[in-house]
Amino acid sequence: MHGSLRLMKYRRFLPLFVTQFLGAFNDNLFKNATILLAVFEILHDPHQEQKFNAIASAVYILPFFLFSALGGQLADSVDKARVIRIVKLAEIGIMAIGAVGLLLANIYLLLAVLFLMGTHSSFFGPTKYAILPQHLAKDEVLGGTSMVEAGTYVAILLGTMVAGVVRPWQAAVMVLAAAGLGLLTAQQVPPAPPEHDAPTIEEDFVELRRELAHFSAMPFALRWLLDIYVTVLFVFRSSWQIISRTMHVPRLFWTIVAISFFVAEVVILGSVFLPMVKNILGADNFVATLMLMVFTIGVAVGAVAINWVLEGKVSARYAPYSALAMAFMLLVMYWTLAHWPPPIESDLIEWRDFIADPHVYILFGELFLVSVAGGMFVVPLYAFLTTTVEKSEAARTVAANNIVTSGAGALAALLFVPVQHFLTIPQAFLVVAAICIISTWFVQKLHKACD
């Protein structure tokens, strides 16, 4: 396939791909192992379990708000390969603490590690996307982005599945091993020095201190308060400046808003996934894993397919059709689920009995097509973020996207909590279909502005 699978032959892509694959696998292995340990072995109250899941998600997402801007600035101002190696070295230390948390079954330690892993990802994310335009030719960036996206979803699937079948001590060993392998592959990533016109973090920090020079009259004993104040203000001001500079550019605004809609759709689908399997299909957890596998493979297929269709050219011309296709298949899924026969037995159906019913393959096929359309929708948008700006601004642009889309995902989750009380599970698919249709307008604006 043009610009995608053939990239795996080159050092300018393969080490980065393997490094990010191991990182995504580790994130999801540890996160799911933590949640399963808390729900099935530590907590024994349904309300506490739901509360822990909400807290764990919030703790993991929070660093994206706090540190994505710093991650983008750092990646644009120093060698990106060096950033990757430092982040992967830090991952070993984080996973060492996480392994202890898993072995001791200490909830507070596990939550602390989730925060650190979110911090790790908020620095690594802008770097892995911004390095692609430096190492790849212009007609290879979409292919590289599609491979990274496909690899990420496969890694998420593997991490989720492995977490469900291993014991905590086995998960502890595996996360340490994956972190170690990630550091080894990171050593092979070729240098990616900053562009000559890229501003440095030091320049921004010095400028802020200059603006606050009137605080220099503070007593020496209280200067540490000024340092803390300047650091906190720097973090939040950096986030605001990056978002402001990025979102006022029309093509970036349309791109980030469209990706935010996609994130909101995935969050809502994720919130009803397990209840759908249990209460509509009457099936067990392994069936949920099978359906997650179908969804993940579909996104990966869509990510590679859109690169083949576009022949390596970064374009949003098929994004509106992908959004409409996703909406249509969600409507089909709504009809299928709304007419699904209610479970006869009180016990949940095991996966062997479930897949023996030929009708389930219709549902699998519908879910697969939804996810293929989703992959074809979102991958060109990520490529837009790094190819329509100067290379010196690519990481900052990805950071702005991470901040906004994380907020969109959190907002979607908060808004859907009260709304879901008035909806059946199939009707939730109608809500997501409506969001897909709305997103069509934004990607159509992007297509007209750029193609």
Q: What is the pLDDT of residue 226?
A: 53
Instruction: Mark whether 300 and 219 lie in a shared domain.
Output: no
Phi-psi domain of 105 (left: phi exceeds 0; alpha: psi -120 through 50; beta: other): left
Full DSSP string of 291-341: HHHHHHHHHHHHHHHHHHHHTT----TTHHHHHHHHHHHHHHHHHHHHTSP
pLDDT tens track for 394-446: 777 877 888 888 888 778 877 777 777 788 888 989 999 999 999 998 888 88
Q: Is residue 242 situated within a structural domain?
A: no
- The rounded distance, in Å, linking the Cα atoms of 288 and 354 is 11
Which residue, 312, 302, 298, 265, is CA-closest to 411? 265
pLDDT value, residue 98: 94
Domain check: are 215 and 257 in the same one?
no
Positions of the chain with pLDDT lower than 70, given as ranges: 1-4, 39-40, 43-51, 53-54, 196-241, 274, 285, 345-346, 391-392, 449-451
* 269 and 229 together in one domain: no
Which of 136, 168, 198 is where one domain is finished?
Answer: 198
Token duo for residue 49? 């379990």
- Alpha-carbon distance of 145 to 161, in angstroms, equals 24
| Number of domains observed in the structure of the chain | 3
CA proximity to 349, closest of 279, 283, 289? 283
Instruction: Quote the pLDDT of residue 64.
Output: 81
Burial of 119: CB neighbours in 10 Å, binned 0-12, 13-18, 19+: buried
Q: Which domain holds residue 306?
A: 249-451
Q: What are phi and psi of 56, to 5 degrees?
A: -60, -40
Residue 244 lies in a domain: no
Q: Do both 260 and 178 map to the same domain?
A: no
Does 255 share its domain with 232? no
Rounded Cα distance between 429 and 255, Å, is 24
Query: What is the separation, in whole angstroms, between the first and last Cα of the chain?
Result: 23
- Identify whether residues 92 and 162 lie together within a single domain: yes
349 backbone dihedrals φ, ψ, rounded to 5°: -75, 130
CA distance 285 to 383: 35
pLDDT of residue 2: 47
One domain, residues 9 and 59 = yes
Tens-digit pLDDT profile for residues 308-322: 888 778 788 888 999
Task: State the pTM of this model.
Answer: 0.73
179 and 326 share one domain: no
Spatial distance between the Cα atoms of 81 and 330, rounded to a whole number of angstroms? 41
442/40 Cα distance (integer angstroms): 42
Q: Does one domain contain both 166 and 303?
A: no
Question: CB–CB of 343/106 below 8 Å?
Answer: no
The residues facing 283 across adjacent strands are 349
CATH number, domain with residue 28? 1.20.1250.20
pLDDT at residue 141, rounded to an integer: 81
Rounded CA-CA distance 177/58 in Å is 27
CA 297 to chain centroid = 16
Q: Are residues 168 and 281 in the same domain?
A: no
Q: What angle do CA 294, 56, 374 make, to 5 degrees?
A: 30
pLDDT of residue 75: 79
Chain position carrying tokens 């708000």: 65
Smallest CA-to-CA distance from 393 within 106, 73, 125 is with 73
Helix pair 425-450, 250-275: axis angle to 10 deg: 160
In a domain, 326, yes or no: yes
Please give the single-letter amino acid code of residue 264: A
Distance CA 198, CA 195 (A): 5
pLDDT at 1: 47
Q: What is the phi/psi pair of residue 414, to 5°?
A: -65, -40
Out of 167, 198, 229, a domain closes at 198
Distance CA 109, CA 102 (A): 9
The answer on 190 and 209 residing in a single domain is no
Same domain for 141 and 273, yes or no, is no
